[in-house]
Amino acid sequence: MKLTSKGRYAVMALVDLARFDNINPVSLRDISLRQGISLDYLEQIFSKLRKKEIVQSVRGTQGGYVLNKKAKEIKLTNIFDAVDEKVKTVQCKKESKKGCNGKSTKCLTHNLWDELENHINNFFEKKSLEDLIKDNVERRI
Amino acid sequence: MKLTSKGRYAVMALVDLARFDNINPVSLRDISLRQGISLDYLEQIFSKLRKKEIVQSVRGTQGGYVLNKKAKEIKLTNIFDAVDEKVKTVQCKKESKKGCNGKSTKCLTHNLWDELENHINNFFEKKSLEDLIKDNVERRI
DNA sequence: TGATACTTGACTATTTTAGTCGGGTATATA
DNA sequence: TATATACCCGACTAAAATAGTCAAGTATCA
Ligand code: FES
Ligand code: FES
């Protein structure tokens, strides 16, 4: 099980953004430089974040992005959801009664994978952007 | 974040095995048929499980595999570890002081990813094969 | 002696990831 | 008004990972 760079970058970039967006919008170029993430890739990511109303964009010179909600209200779940970083422990469709590999019923361990998925999602639902920023201040990173 | 089929199959196969290994070894052919997993792929998986002493093999006719430990003592951690299904939330090496993308320090969110990794691994450390079998009996699957 | 079933290693198609690239458009400022 | 900045959008691609397959064995039982 691994977290993809897209998901990791989305959170990193938003933490960076949240720390600097007091007055002015933050440009992706700055985030790119500070966090060492490809600018082109960041643009893809922020396009998704904007569509899910996590950030707002400001075009033109001195433009950039600002948070569209309070940091406290942005949970990891929302971020991951926006960039399609989903937790998936099974191959079969959740809604369907059918199992993997075209089997007519769900597998022996199906309940386990559901539990696992919930376990991980719980973590994402609890953590907000605000938590992450506080965490950094305490550690003075 | 997704669980790979290899990891999922390893656990499925072991649950199947654990339910049938009272007297005789269980052949991969049987597991393959019951669980709908490719025989060739199962062989790869069991080769690893054997090397990590989770199962024992019995060659020849009427051969197959048996558990090498009590079901209570086999945790998901052990199974995933055996088949190289590891939880990885970062790209950079854990031991190293350096960050991702060759950066000289760890990133802003590094602590978060460590927490996440621990959170998931905790789940795997708690669950044993015995738990999974009991679970099935209760549900009469 | 044959059938069963484990053993090993190499090989491959498909999918996913992690980007890149080339063209835009809006806006502030000089 | 010209220009630079920075967002916007879609298509493309190299590399890695995944999910297998395939071939050629060896051990053991009946
Ligand atoms: S994981 Fe698909 S049937 Fe259980
Ligand atoms: S994830 Fe690699 S530096 Fe933090």
Q: Is B8 on the interface with A (CB under 8 A)?
A: yes
How far does the centroid of ligand 1 lie from the alpha carbon of residue A109, in Å? 7
Which residues lie closer than 8 Å to B48 by C-beta, 6 or more apart?
B82, B83, B84
DSSP-derived letter for residue A105 is S
CA B13 to chain centre: 10
DSSP-derived letter for residue A136 is H
Cβ separation A100–B36 shorter than 8 A: yes
Q: What six digits make up the tokens of B85?
A: 């299904």
Run of H or E including A65 = strand A64-67
Q: Is B31 on the interface with A (CB under 8 A)?
A: no
How far does the centroid of ligand 2 lie from the alpha carbon of residue A88, in Å? 23
In whole angstroms, what is the distance from residue B120 CA to residue A121 CA?
10
Q: Which of A100, A108, A36 is nearest to B138 (CA)?
A: A108
For the segment(s) B5-140, the CATH number from 1.10.10.10, 1.20.1560.10, 3.30.450.40, 3.40.1350.10 is 1.10.10.10
Q: Which residue does chain A place closest to B110, by CA atoms?
A: A12
Give pLDDT, residue A140: 53
Q: What six digits make up the tokens of B86?
A: 């590891």
Question: Given the CA of residue B110, which atom of ligand 2 is nearest to it?
Answer: 4
**Atom 1 of ligand 2: nearest residue by CA position:** B90
Q: Which ligand is nearest to the CA of A9?
A: 2
Mapped onto helix, strand or coil, the DSSP state of residue B68 is coil
In whole angstroms, what is the distance from residue A11 CA to residue A17 CA?
10
Amino acid at site A115: E
Could you list the pLDDT tens digit for every one of the 141 residues in chain B? 999 999 999 999 999 999 987 789 999 999 999 999 999 999 999 999 999 999 999 999 999 999 999 999 999 999 999 999 999 999 998 888 888 887 889 999 999 999 999 999 999 999 999 999 998 777 654
Cβ separation A91–B119 shorter than 8 A: no
| Banded model confidence at residue A139, pLDDT cuts 50, 70, 90 | low
Q: Which ligand is nearest to the CA of A3?
A: 2
Mutate which of B104, B108, B111, B137 to disrupt the A interface (most A C-beta within 10 Å)?
Answer: B108
Is the whole model's pTM more than 0.75, yes or no? yes
Domain boundaries, chain B: 5-140
Give pLDDT, residue B139: 66
In whole angstroms, what is the distance from residue B16 CA to residue B66 CA?
11
